[in-house]
Structure 1
Amino acid sequence: MENPCIICVAITGSLPRKADNSAVPITIAEQVESTHAAFEAGATIAHCHVRNEDETPSSDPEKFAALKEGLEKHCPGMIVQLSTGGRSGAGQTRGGMLPLRPDMASLSVGSNNFPTRVYENPPDLVDWLAGEMRSHGVKPEIEAFDLSHILKAKEMWDKGQIVDRPYVQFVMGVKNAMPADREVFNYYIQTVHRLFGADAPWCAAGIGPNQIVLNDWAVSSGGHARTGLEDNVRLDKTRLAPSNATLVQRVVALCEKYERPVATWRQARAILGLKPVSA
């Protein structure tokens, strides 16, 4: 099957701490080092959050700038995707890093429940974030925690709020949100192809023990896969994941199993319609 699989590594997120797994990278230097190893293992997208010294999440554009600079230096060609997620800030502070013009940024287009709270993405903020991404030439990755989020992305694309064909990531396994359900997953794929075209690329992410499940489903179904310590700090019930690179290697093994090549950064950029860069 000549359909290269893009591997996205979610480096650190907002929640995992050193107390959960000492391999979780917190500082900019740790994140760059961890991402470099994941890049060499086969990841071509780095999904990025930044942290404060006390490990709490941050939306500080200066921290994002330092991380972006480090990744571009040490992982040349890798796609840098900055998070506009809601755990690290409120309102427009969530998009304060978009003037840095990363290759991509996450965009949640609707609200849903999280384990202990509501993940709020009000329409006016979604519109503003999409407008900032459009203004700065940043490709959004649609974070679909629910079927309605895929349909909302189509509406925004039709209105011109999203310029390029939406790249949708299915997020499954968050407590109180969409569980890892294979029939729903299959319907998500059908919906993406119906709305955006039979060749529309898509990605999937599973949370906690669902990570390897969604990795398998995505690779075997022709999609792209997200892994990393943000979503899951374990290899199994008894073993912690020693690194982001180790989690990437699990996806590479699945690509070998299903006879799919792992996308190079050049291929990943072409598949997603991103500008080429020299490295």
Structure 2
Amino acid sequence: MSQPCIICVAITGSLPTKENNPAVPITVDEQIESTQAAFEAGATIAHCHVRDGDGRPTSDPDLFAALKEGLEKHCPGMIVQLSTGGRSGAGQARGGMLPLRPDMASLSVGSNNFPTRVYENPPDLVDWLASEMACYDVKPEVEAFDLSHIFQAASMFKDGRIKDRPYVQFVMGVKNAMPVDREVFDFYIHTVKRLFGDDTHWCAAGIGAQQLTLNEWAISSGGHARTGLEDNVRLDRDNLAPSNAALVHRAVDLCGKYDRPVATWQQARQILGLRMP
């Protein structure tokens, strides 16, 4: 358990609003300020979405460029991971920010159900997004909402569509997708190691009240952890989270509980094989 734990903070997402929690950062300036506090608390990856002037999710490359520039200025060394998620745009517009050459970008390699709709990731779009990431030297984080997504990532790695060994994130607790189940979680770890090697790095994210559960499972099992207001706006049943930093502090405390050092940004980049700034 001496492997440093990388903490990713998902700062905004596409769904949470100020009505859900006033601490949710919507504007670029709010996101930069919130991420800086989370970075100082111990997060070394910022998972980023952007919103338009009405607070709606968008894939606008200009907004992503402004956010990326601000994070690089105020959070020097932090890994910037931009979202290509489907709530923010359609078709190739979802990858319009990849020419900005962020350190990382999310990549969903298959479709699945979401609470009220199908999250569509057709094979031709997945292949195009992966090719753009390879072209611009952007490391993908494979978002696995289902076991089949891990196998698809393995297939894409084997045939060269994903050029480096994937960094896989298990997403559990989305309604109508994979529930939070410990046996499934352990099988995910086993499958990733079987397909990619025992020394493969992986991450886990839990949605809503399950965020704390997945943080604890990941940290105690030698993986890396995602937290943040995108996935969960509460500290507990009775209290809203006052900030992204507060959720990061909670993950840092869990690292202490399991004798896991928290990765510095230099260590996180080395672990993930990312270029130094």
The TM-score by the shorter chain falls in which range? Answer: over 0.9
Partner of 2:252: 252
Partner of 1:221: 221
Partner of 2:128: 128
Partner of 1:59: 59
Partner of 1:142: 142
Tell me how far 1:239 sits from its aligned partner. 0.3
TM-score (ref. length: structure 2): 1.00
Secondary structure at the counterpart of residue 255 of structure 1: helix
What's the CA shift string for 1:122-177, capped at 9, x where partnerless? 00000000000000000000000000000000000011011110000000000000
Is 1:12 aligned to residue 12 of structure 2? yes
Distance 1:183 1:231 in 2: 22
Distance 1:251 1:23 in 2: 18
Partner of 1:177: 177
Tell me how far 1:276 sits from its aligned partner. 1.5
Counterpart residue identity of residue 254, structure 1: L
Partner of 1:84: 84
Secondary structure at the counterpart of residue 235 of structure 1: strand
Distance 2:76 2:230 in 1: 22
Map 1:196-211 to 2 at 5 A: 196-211=196-211
Partner of 1:98: 98
Distance 1:194 1:206 in 2: 23
Partner of 2:30: 30
Runs of 4+ in 1 over 2 A off after TM superposition: none
Q: Which runs of 5+ in 1 are unaligned?
A: none
Q: Which runs of 5+ in 2 are unaligned?
A: none
Distance 2:236 2:255 in 1: 20
Tell me how far 1:2 sits from its aligned partner. 1.3
What's the CA shift string for 1:12-45, capped at 9, x where partnerless? 0000000000000000000000000000000000
Secondary structure at the counterpart of residue 209 of structure 1: helix
Distance 1:248 1:211 in 2: 11
Tell me how far 1:55 sits from its aligned partner. 1.1
What's the CA shift string for 1:82-138, capped at 9, x where partnerless? 000000100000000000000000000000000000000000000000000000000
TM-score (ref. length: structure 1): 0.99
Partner of 1:241: 241
Distance 2:115 2:193 in 1: 30
Counterpart residue identity of residue 10, structure 1: A
Length, aligned pairs only: 277
Counterpart residue identity of residue 223, structure 1: G
Distance 1:275 1:17 in 2: 34
Which moved further from structure 2: 50-59 or 262-271? 50-59
Partner of 1:114: 114
Partner of 1:274: 274
Distance 2:120 2:214 in 1: 25
Partner of 2:166: 166
What's the CA shift string for 1:221-249, capped at 9, x where partnerless? 00000000000000111100000000000
Distance 1:273 1:89 in 2: 29
Distance 2:276 2:27 in 1: 29
What's the CA shift string for 1:173-206, capped at 9, x where partnerless? 0000000000000000000000111010000000
Tell me how far 1:257 sits from its aligned partner. 0.1
Distance 2:237 2:2 in 1: 34
Cα root mean square deviation, aligned: 0.4
Secondary structure at the counterpart of residue 184 of structure 2: helix
Q: Percent identity among equivalent residues?
A: 78
Partner of 1:73: 73
Tell me how far 1:52 sits from its aligned partner. 1.0
Distance 1:208 1:120 in 2: 22
Tell me how far 1:53 sits from its aligned partner. 1.8
Partner of 1:2: 2
